[in-house]
Amino acid sequence: MTNRISNERKKKIIEGFYELSVQNGLENTSIAKIGKHLGMPPSLVMHYFPTREILISNLILHILDQYLRIYEPVIKELETKNYADPQTFVDSLFSRDWNLLFDDGVFYSCYSLIFRNDRIKREYRLLHDKLRESLKDILDRDEKLEGKDTELLAEQIFVVVEGAYYYLSMIDDEEIYDRKIEAYKSQVYDLLRKYEVQHL
Amino acid sequence: MTNRISNERKKKIIEGFYELSVQNGLENTSIAKIGKHLGMPPSLVMHYFPTREILISNLILHILDQYLRIYEPVIKELETKNYADPQTFVDSLFSRDWNLLFDDGVFYSCYSLIFRNDRIKREYRLLHDKLRESLKDILDRDEKLEGKDTELLAEQIFVVVEGAYYYLSMIDDEEIYDRKIEAYKSQVYDLLRKYEVQHL
DNA sequence: TATAATATTGAATGAACGTTCAATTTATGA
DNA sequence: TCATAAATTGAACGTTCATTCAATATTATA
Residues of A in contact with B151 (CB under 8 A): none
Tell me, rounded to whole angstroms, the distance of Cα B99 from its chain centroid: 10
Distance (Å, rounded) from C-alpha A9 to C-alpha B184?
Answer: 44
| A193 Cα to chain B: minimum distance (Å) | 12
Say yes or no for a CB contact (<8 Å) between B114 and A156: no
Angle between helices B118-140 and B104-111 (to 10 degrees): 120
Q: Give tens-digit pLDDT for B101-147.
A: 788 999 999 999 999 999 999 999 999 999 999 889 888 988 888 88
What is the pLDDT tens value at each position of chain B, 200 positions in all?
457 878 899 999 999 999 999 999 999 999 999 999 999 999 999 999 999 999 999 999 999 998 888 777 777 777 777 666 778 788 888 886 777 778 899 999 999 999 999 999 999 999 999 999 988 988 898 888 888 999 999 999 999 999 999 999 999 999 999 999 999 999 999 999 888 765 54
Which pLDDT belongs to residue A200? 46
Beta carbons of B75 and B135 less than 8 angstroms apart: no
| Phi/psi of residue A41, nearest 5 degrees | -70, 150
Rounded to 5°, the CA angle B39-B45-B51 comes to 155
Please name the member of A103, A121, A159 whose beta carbon is closest to the beta carbon of B160.
Answer: A159
The answer to whether strand C lies under 7 Å from the CB of residue B47 is yes
Say yes or no for a CB contact (<8 Å) between A170 and B112: no
> What CATH class is the domain B64-197?
mainly alpha
- The third-level CATH classification (topology) of the domain covering A57-197 is Tetracycline Repressor; domain 2 (1.10.357)
| Phi/psi of residue B126, nearest 5 degrees | -55, -45
Residue A83 CB-density burial (10 A; 0-12 exposed, 13-18 middle, 19+ buried):
exposed
- The full DSSP string for B10-30 is HHHHHHHHHHHHHHH-GGG--
Quick one: pLDDT band at residue A84, thresholds 50, 70, 90?
A: low
Q: Domain residues of chain A, as ranges? A: 1-50, 57-197
Most confident of A95-99, A154-158, B5-9: A154-158
Q: Give tens-digit pLDDT for A157-198.
A: 999 999 999 999 999 999 999 999 999 999 999 999 888 765
> What CATH class is the domain A1-50?
mainly alpha
